[in-house]
Amino acid sequence: MRLITHNMLKCHVKNCKEPDKQFPLQFKDAKLEQIEAERNNEFLVRMLPRIDWPALLKTTKELGIIIPEKVPANPADDDEFLQALHTAILEMHVKEGSMVCNGCGHEYKITKGIPNMLLAEHEI
């Protein structure tokens, strides 16, 4: 589970009705592993508008990953920013742990890097 994907996940339990707290899901007991990946600046810049920055910032802080507070005016020219972004969203993998909804408390488990977004019948 990488943060680029975590940034798209909202709690989808049927009775979870607090939209402000459904996102981002909060990591619990997260075991991190960094897997090196080739950096592609053009790709990173293109993905930027699709990322919810405040949510990413909150999550990286909780995990102890450092990224700048704000997206620079010209991200394409900012090597340091691009490297931090690349590492945070594409190289850091949460291998074990869970993601908890701050609204309803539902826990989405992560096992061997695979988050389980399936819900029990009564939660759908």
Partner 1 sequence: MKLKQLEGYLGEVASFKEPKVQLEQYPTTAHLASRMLYTAETAYGDIGDKAVVDLGCGCGMLSIAAAMMGASSVVGIDIDTDALAVAQDNLGALEVEDVVELMRADLCHRPTDGSSLELSQQLLAGMRAKFDTAVLNPPFGTKPGNKGIDVVFLQAACLMARDAVYSLHKSSTREHLIKKVQSWGYKCEVLAELKFDVPMMYKFHKKKAVDVEVDLLRIVLREAL
Site string for partner 1, 23-62 (x = CB under 8 A): x-----------xxxx-x-xx---x--x------------
Q: How far apart are CA 12 and CA 101, in angstroms?
A: 9
Residues 1-30 that bind partner 1 (CB under 8 A): 1-2, 4-5, 7-10, 12, 14, 23
Secondary structure of residue 74 in the 3-state scheme: coil
Q: Tokens standing for 1? A: 């589970």
Peptide linkage before 68 cis (omega within 30 of 0): no
- One-letter amino acid at 20 equals D
Q: Contact between 90 and partner 1 (CB under 8 A)? A: yes
Q: Among 20, 64, 74, 112, indicate the residue that binds partner 1 (CB under 8 A).
A: 112
Give the torsion through C-alpha atoms of 31, 35, 39, 40, to 10 deg: -80
Interface residues toward partner 1, by CB under 8 A: 1-2, 4-5, 7-10, 12, 14, 23, 35-38, 40, 42-43, 47, 50, 90-91, 93, 112-119, 121, 124
